[in-house]
Amino acid sequence: MHSYTAEPLSRFDIRKIVKAFRELLGVKYESYIDVVTLLDILGKKLKNFSYEVVANNTLPKKVFATTDVQTGKIKIKEHIFNKACDGNGFARYCIAHEIGHYILLVLCGFGLAKADNSIKIPKFRDPEWQAECFAGEFLMGYDAVKNYSVNELVTKCCVTKKAAIYQYNMFRK
């Protein structure tokens, strides 16, 4: 989606959306979010959401998962899905990233527009930055874990150390 620009959303905007989403799911104060089970819950609750685990060779090498904003369908490579089931932080983040695309672009309906490739997209208008931001904020919910140490974030939220350090710093901005 690199050639698209999205309606502007700051981290603070995304944190508010995550808060509402977590409340809706009844997990406002949960430090651990089971993203794999959540895929099934969303599939049951929302008409326009679906996901499919696909063979590793059906998506390009560097793509782990995709979200089709027209159909609301998330495709996840089999090895990523399996790793997420085993609690792998990177794979869990990939799935949360795609859920972010779905929530922001499909459910909330923030618009996308074709970008002029000669102009650098500011990060708050970049749908990839927005989905990354969503993933961090969602897996490490502000109300639940804002006072956690980096190590607590890693073990209790089940994220990578890199993601934990990044979010730890974002909580203190």
Shortest distance in whole angstroms from residue 1 CB to Zn ion: 6
The answer to whether 91 and 160 have CB atoms below 8 angstroms apart is no
Stretch that binds Zn ion, among 16-24, 45-53, 126-134, 141-149 (CB under 5 A): 126-134
Stretch that binds Zn ion, among 76-84, 122-130, 135-143, 149-157 (CB under 5 A): 122-130
Q: Decide if residue 131 touches Zn ion (CB under 5 A).
A: yes
Shortest distance in whole angstroms from residue 132 CB to Zn ion: 8
The answer to whether 172 and 55 have CB atoms below 8 angstroms apart is no
Stretch that binds Zn ion, among 19-27, 56-64, 103-111, 120-128 (CB under 5 A): 120-128
Q: Which residue is nearest to Zn ion (CB)?
A: 131
Q: Residue 77: beta bridge partners?
A: 54
- The secondary structure of residue 59, as a DSSP letter, is S
Shortest distance in whole angstroms from residue 127 CB to Zn ion: 7
Shortest distance in whole angstroms from residue 28 CB to Zn ion: 25
Whose Cβ is closer to Zn ion: residue 89's or residue 100's? 100
Q: Which pair of tokens denotes residue 52?
A: 């499919």
Q: Is 19 helix (H, G, I), strand (E, B) or coil?
A: helix
Name the one residue in this structure whose structure tokens are 């979200």. 67
**Which amino acid would we find at residue 111?**
G
Return the closest-CA partner of residue 163 out of 143, 12, 66, 151: 151
Q: 65-68 and 73-77: which strand pairing?
A: antiparallel
Whose Cβ is closer to Zn ion: residue 81's or residue 148's? 81
Shortest distance in whole angstroms from residue 130 CB to Zn ion: 9
Residues that bind Zn ion (CB under 5 A): 128, 131
